[in-house]
Amino acid sequence: ANSTDVEDLVGAPMVIAHRGANDRYNESTITAYKIAARDGVDALEIDLRMTADGRLIAMHDETIDRTTDGNGKAEAYTLEEIKEFETVEVFNNQTTVEVIPTLEEIIDTFRDTEHYYIETRLVDGQPVMEDYLVRLLDDYELISQGLVIIQSFSKQSLEKVYNLEPSIPLTLLYRKGKFNLEDAKSVPYPFIGIESTDVSLEVVNELHEVGKKVHVYFTNNDTQKAEQKRVKAFQVDGYFTDYIEYTKELLETE
């Protein structure tokens, strides 16, 4: 990856490393992101959760049960407590363990050598992670360098980010089965994130007509590769991929 502005980057379809290279290492860990970066992806996708003491960690699920040796809601723990747990996975019959990283630790690892595609969410229905997040990204000068996109299923969260820093490119995500074309055409965000089974040629063409880029995510690993092939024919603009090598090869073939 390099330090081009997001605006330059989106000329070609973006290969977005969904939770890092999660097909080869524990999802959302520094190592998973390092593998993705080594593979030359266009952006690292990072889901955020907030700890009880207001720190941001890379964690997809509401609870730490699926990915770590602990259990309970991530937000119930302070950062110090969260650091006592480890992510645990098995790849090729080998168990790999690694601590849960904070967003700062991920950014400290890659600085301005990567693009960050960060997902915010409401905490107990409130937009409370955005202040800390925007300040952090600003401190690292990532916003001014065009190295960040922020995505969310929550319009409230995106509005909060916009009010804090209007120059950050934003993506509105729609849940599987909940995509609404008229709504997507009318929102003031440059990127629309859609689950692959809701993506059709008509949807992509209509969004392109109003100047929006379409970034596709996938919820079924068994059909993901076939789905990537299907939506490629519609000239979508980004893939939140769980199979980086596959996606890169797919985009290189005519």
Residues with active-site annotation = 18, 60
For residue 152, what are the CA distances in angstroms to 85, 89, 191, 193, 245?
Answer: 27, 27, 11, 9, 26
- Name which of Ca ion, ligand G3P, none residue 189 binds, using a CB cut-off of 5 to 8 Å depending on partner kind: none
Considering the complex, what minimum distance in angstroms separates the CB of residue 89 from ligand G3P?
17
Pairing assessment for the beta strands 170-173 and 94-99 based on DSSP bridges:
unpaired
Considering the complex, what minimum distance in angstroms separates the CB of residue 120 from ligand G3P?
10
Residue with nearest beta carbon to Ca ion: 119
Considering the complex, what minimum distance in angstroms separates the CB of residue 236 from Ca ion?
17
Phi, psi of 68, deg, nearest 5: -130, 180
Do 42 and 68 contact (CB within 8 A), yes or no?
A: no
The residue among 27 and 119 lying less far from Ca ion, judged by its C-beta, is: 119
Do 105 and 30 contact (CB within 8 A), yes or no?
A: yes
The residue among 144 and 155 lying less far from ligand G3P, judged by its C-beta, is: 155
Considering the complex, what minimum distance in angstroms separates the CB of residue 60 from ligand G3P?
6
The residue among 65 and 202 lying less far from Ca ion, judged by its C-beta, is: 65
Considering the complex, what minimum distance in angstroms separates the CB of residue 229 from Ca ion?
22
The residue among 70 and 193 lying less far from ligand G3P, judged by its C-beta, is: 193
Where do contacts with ligand G3P occur on this chain (CB under 6 A)?
Answer: 18, 45, 47, 60, 119, 151, 173, 193, 217, 240
Neighbours of 121 (CB within 10 A): 17
How far apart, in whole angstroms, are the C-alpha atoms of residue 208 and residue 217? Answer: 18
Residue with nearest beta carbon to ligand G3P: 217
Do 68 and 99 contact (CB within 8 A), yes or no?
A: no
3-state helix, strand, coil in the chain (%, to 5): 35, 25, 40
Where do contacts with Ca ion occur on this chain (CB under 5 A)?
Answer: 47, 119
- Name which of ligand G3P, Ca ion, none residue 107 binds, using a CB cut-off of 5 to 8 Å depending on partner kind: none
- Name which of Ca ion, ligand G3P, none residue 217 binds, using a CB cut-off of 5 to 8 Å depending on partner kind: ligand G3P
Do 189 and 171 contact (CB within 8 A), yes or no?
A: yes
The residue among 132 and 153 lying less far from Ca ion, judged by its C-beta, is: 153
3-state secondary structure of 195: strand
Phi, psi of 44, deg, nearest 5: -100, 125
